[in-house]
């Protein structure tokens, strides 16, 4: 799919990230020396190890990149994909550094990957590969609650995170905070409620916030309301599915959903849950879904007319071959690096608003931060204060009822005194984080008259530079 969108002379993913960085650096307050420090990758681990499959030995290659250790631990997902290479992992780890800074999550950027297609391996084989890779990370000190904390990414999920956590625990049985060595775990293993849908929910919050800005409404000729807004989503994995669910639940019309083989399109809107159920029951494909037109050339649906386009698949999906055909008024980058630098310029020149990946898809790392903090505190959010809050509200409500002379019904009473559950606290923390980060980006963009990507990156660079300046640099100066 990537090759269909990009020209041969367009920069690869890592170079594209560096080009965006260089553009933003001109608008930052950092010195040349500090910019060099921020831009470069701190350390990279490359490993190969043998795994037996069908009686033969297969050599597996894996990577882990720690882009920046200005704040610790490093944070970033581990992906299983045959397309994984060192350059991709370095680029993604750089994005993680900037992403954490833009949303004020106190981590450095990291990323990992294993060069396999998970569909070609059995569950038992995947477990052996995951545990062996974790062993390599343990031996090289590339994993730990205060060192480097992986998370799910393309091709991985709570199952793999559980294997990683268990392997780490077996090699570090004395580490009382061992559960915090990885995030995105199942609830039974110390996960946090709300992590699964976090990135998709963050995408929704971010788009909703930008739609509320008068300058964005003027550019899009849009009312600023989610209700009635037409949305096309590329990718129906975890991020795309949850983003679609939250947009739909708040009144948006999901007119197109694009997968790697085909796309589903209906100008009147697609029922997201029905499509997900159809795919699950029909071999993982949209084909035959009765309530939408099935498009055999999925990339063409990226060019469909809509208010909001959400690329939530892989990098480099909008390049010089298709940028001029994109008709969406707002592009929300739920995937990492879906738009190339040249395509970014074309889209902006054509009047499109672009919400950049380092801001819009930061919901995942934000809630990973909450999970990490929960694991370190060994306490579920809300456990200590839920009943106290409810009793306090009940006393206040009784006082108001007495003065008003109008008692509430039991249902009304329960609704008003309800104390926050863990997932409600997570949602609240994520919403606040996204609102603050979106408004910081907007303020910088308006003050400097620059686009939102450059503004978000410039803010990120300034925050990292301040952290480096505050801590000083050991062994750098004579």
Give residues with Cβ within 8 angstroms of 445, minimum separation 6.
451, 452, 454, 455
**In degrees rounded to 5, what are phi and psi of residue 475?**
70, 5
Find the catalytic residue in 75, 111, 185, 245: 111
Asked if 370 contacts 346 with a C-beta cutoff of 8 angstroms, the reply is no
Give strand ranges (E) for 67-131: 74-80, 108-114
Tokens representing 407? 């008692």
Asked if 202 contacts 364 with a C-beta cutoff of 8 angstroms, the reply is yes
Residues 9 and 381: their CA atoms lie apart, in Å, by 50
Residues 5 and 9: their CA atoms lie apart, in Å, by 12
Q: Which helix (H) or strand (E) holds 331?
A: strand 330-332
Active-site residue 26, yes or no? no
The rounded Cα 95 to chain-centroid distance in angstroms is 11
Q: Identify the bridge partners of residue 61 per DSSP, sorted by sequence position.
A: 48
Tokens representing 428? 């609240």
The rounded Cα 63 to chain-centroid distance in angstroms is 20
Write the burial class of residue 381 (CB in 10 Å: 0-12 exposed, 13-18 middle, 19+ buried): buried
Asked if 81 contacts 92 with a C-beta cutoff of 8 angstroms, the reply is no
* Angstrom distances, CA of residue 392 to CA of 353, 405, 410: 45, 20, 17
Q: Are strands 56-66 and 43-53 parallel, antiparallel or unpaired?
A: antiparallel
Residues 438 and 53: their CA atoms lie apart, in Å, by 48
Give residues with Cβ within 8 angstroms of 89, minimum separation 6.
44, 63, 64, 65, 111, 112, 113
Q: Identify the bridge partners of residue 311 per DSSP, sorted by sequence position.
A: 234
Q: Catalytic site residues?
A: 111
């Amino acid at each position: 799919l990537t090759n269909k969108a990009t020209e041969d002379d367009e920069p690869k993913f890592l170079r594209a990230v560096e080009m965006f960085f260089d553009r933003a650096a001109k608008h930052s307050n950092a010195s040349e020396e500090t910019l060099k420090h921020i831009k470069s990758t701190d350390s990279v681990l490359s490993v190969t190890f043998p795994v037996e499959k069908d009686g033969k030995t297969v050599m597996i290659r894996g990577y882990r990149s720690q882009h920046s250790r200005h704040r610790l631990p490093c944070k970033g997902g581990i992906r299983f994909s045959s397309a994984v290479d060192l350059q991709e992992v370095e680029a993604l780890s750089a994005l993680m550094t900037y992403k954490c800074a833009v949303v004020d999550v106190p981590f450095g950027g990291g990323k990992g990957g294993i060069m396999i297609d998970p569909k070609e391996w059995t569950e038992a084989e995947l477990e052996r590969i995951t545990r062996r890779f974790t062993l390599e990370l343990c031996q090289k000190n590339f994993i730990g609650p205060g060192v480097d904390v992986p998370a799910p990414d393309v091709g991985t999920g709570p199952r793999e995170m559980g294997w990683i956590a268990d392997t780490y625990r077996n090699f570090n049985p004395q580490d009382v905070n061992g559960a915090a060595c990885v995030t995105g775990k199942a609830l039974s293993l110390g996960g946090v409620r709300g992590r699964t849908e976090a990135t998709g929910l963050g995408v929704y919050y971010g788009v909703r916030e930008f739609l509320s800005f008068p300058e964005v409404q003027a550019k899009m000729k849009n009312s600023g309301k989610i209700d009635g807004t037409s949305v096309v989503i590329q990718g129906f994995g975890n991020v795309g599915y949850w983003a679609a669910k939250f947009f739909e639940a708040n009144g948006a019309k999901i007119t197109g959903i694009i997968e790697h083989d085909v796309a589903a399109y209906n100008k009147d809107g697609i029922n997201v849950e029905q499509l997900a159920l159809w795919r699950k029951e029909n071999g993982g494909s949209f084909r035959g879904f009765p309530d939408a037109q099935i498009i055999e050339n999925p990339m063409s649906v990226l060019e469909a007319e809509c208010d909001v386009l959400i690329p939530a698949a892989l990098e480099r999906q909008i390049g010089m071959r298709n940028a001029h055909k994109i008709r969406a008024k707002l592009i929300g980058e739920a995937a990492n690096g879906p738009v190339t630098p040249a395509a970014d310029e074309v889209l902006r020149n054509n009047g499109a608003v672009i919400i950049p990946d380092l801001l819009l898809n930061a919901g995942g790392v934000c809630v990973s931060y909450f999970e990490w903090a929960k694991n370190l505190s060994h306490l579920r959010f809300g456990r200590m204060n839920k009943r106290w809050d409810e009793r306090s509200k009940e006393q206040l409500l009784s006082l108001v009822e007495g003065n008003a002379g109008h008692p509430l019904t039991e249902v009304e009473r329960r609704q008003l005194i309800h104390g926050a559950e863990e997932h409600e606290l997570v949602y609240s923390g994520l919403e606040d984080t996204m609102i603050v980060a979106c408004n910081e980006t907007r303020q910088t963009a308006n003050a400097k008259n620059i686009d939102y990507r450059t503004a978000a990156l410039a803010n990120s660079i300034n925050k990292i530079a301040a952290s480096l300046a505050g801590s000083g640099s050991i062994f750098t100066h004579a």
